[in-house]
Amino acid sequence: LAQDNTFKIGLILPMTGQQATTGRQIEAAAKLYMAQNGDMIGGKKVQLIIKDDTSIPDVTKRLAQELVVNDKVNVLAGMGITPSALATAAIATQSKTPLVVMAAATSSITEASPYVVRTSFTLPQASVALADWAPKNGIKKVVTLVSDYGPGIDAEKYFKERMLFNGGQITESLRVPLRNPDFAPFLQKVRDLKPDALFVFVPSGAGAAVMKQFLERGMDKAGIKLIGTGDVTDDDQLNDMGDGALGVVTSHHYSTAHPSAVNKKFVEAFQKANNNLRPNFMAVGGYDGMRVIYEALKVTKGAGGGDALLAAMKGQIFESPRGPMFIDAQTRDVVQNIYLRKVEKKDGQLYNIEFDVIKDVKDPGKNK
Ligand code: DHB
């Protein structure tokens, strides 16, 4: 096929390093989407070019530049962490290349470039729902513990604001480094403070370490509940966390146990293609991101460049494995249901079981 008949997707992911599970999940989901939907779309041959940024933002930026200039990709995608997405935003703007953010979840990312479209979630979106649930369920005094960067700062701020609005209290706000975090001294401090609950945000892949140290310190036995956004009970790790995780309540946009026909089909196909690996919220962000790209390409058939592609991404509405979702045409951010979930055992395995839903949640960060 001639060069101009190809449609290239430059997928930049952390395939190695601290965020490697994010890369593994999104790569597997993108490949599954292509296997299920073919690679001839709108008369173009779709080509996926995967690059490992090791979650170092300078590397993300260099790879994005090379993909745009040398490979002449039609769309950039991936972005495992917020600093990587922010480092790439200017390249998307300068080259008029849509940037589909499949993982990173700081509210402000969509404002860093008019070419950003997001299929993951935002931390304000997930955090507010939990701050509405907690005070109604006996949790009045909370200590927050977040990774000290964009999504953690968002989680801390929006959880706190809503808790105070609801008559709750935040007795301490702790921040732990993103790179090589040691949770022990922070958890010791929380134990001494004895709040009703500890609210946690850590990025995908770090939840198991938090859970282990929380239980080792007997915090649950001391009467301190663990709550957080669903990143902490990440489906990639949850089943290995042990029964100590039972009862942990989180809020998030996706659970592997989401009870819909579309999700059951997705989980089955994903596990079959990936040696039984359980898809997590990162996989769903990648799968839906591919769908947004494919549907836009069907409309433009490759004509009109990045601006036409971007226009065809805005306003897309469809049923994702997570439930209904919508790409808001004004903000280019995802509007979706946020679920309250509790860790329970089902068929001998640990799952985040949804018990309540807040429908069609927009990113609260966009109203400021
Ligand atoms: C981000 C990364 C994560 O792994 C996650 O679970 C949420 C947010 C981020 O860097 O934006």
In order along its 368 residues, the chain shows pLDDT tens digits of 445 799 999 999 999 999 999 999 999 999 999 999 999 999 999 999 999 999 999 999 999 999 999 999 999 999 999 999 999 999 999 999 999 999 999 999 999 999 999 999 999 999 999 999 999 999 999 999 999 999 999 999 999 999 999 999 999 999 999 999 999 999 999 999 999 999 999 999 999 999 999 999 999 999 999 999 999 999 999 999 999 999 999 999 999 999 999 999 999 999 999 999 999 999 999 999 999 999 999 999 999 999 999 999 999 999 999 999 999 999 999 999 999 999 999 999 999 999 999 999 999 998 65
Neighbours of 347 (CB within 10 A): 5
The number of helices, as runs of H, and strands, as runs of E, in the chain is: 10, 15
Compute, in angstroms, the gap from residue 7 CA to the centroid of ligand 1: 28
To test the pocket of ligand 1, the residue of 153, 204, 233 to mutate (highest count of ligand atoms within 8 Å of its CB) is 204
Instruction: Select from 102, 92, 104, 158 the least CA-distant residue to 131.
Output: 158
Compute, in angstroms, the gap from residue 245 CA to the centroid of ligand 1: 21
Torsion of CA 288, 293, 296, 297, to 10 degrees: -140
Strand partners, 46: 7
Checking ipTM against 0.95, whether it exceeds it is yes
Give the CA angle between residues 184, 278, 118 to the nearest 5°. Answer: 80
State whether residue 328 is helix, strand or coil: coil
* DSSP annotation of 277: P
In the chain the domains, ranked by start, together with CATH numbers, are: 3-121+259-332 (3.40.50.2300), 124-252+338-367 (3.40.50.2300)
**Is the separation of the CB atoms in 197 and 139 below 8 Å?**
yes
Q: Spell out which residues line ligand 1, taking CB within 6 angstroms.
A: 22, 81-82, 103-106, 150-151, 203-204, 231
Helices (H), 169-304: 184-193, 207-216, 261-273, 281-300
> Whose alpha carbon is nearest atom 11 of ligand 1?
104
For residue 255, give every residue at least 6 positions away whose Cβ sits within 8 Å of its Cβ, in sequence order, or none: 230, 235, 339, 341, 351, 352, 353, 354
Q: Determine the angle formed by the axes of helices 281-300 and 261-273, rounding to 10 degrees.
A: 100
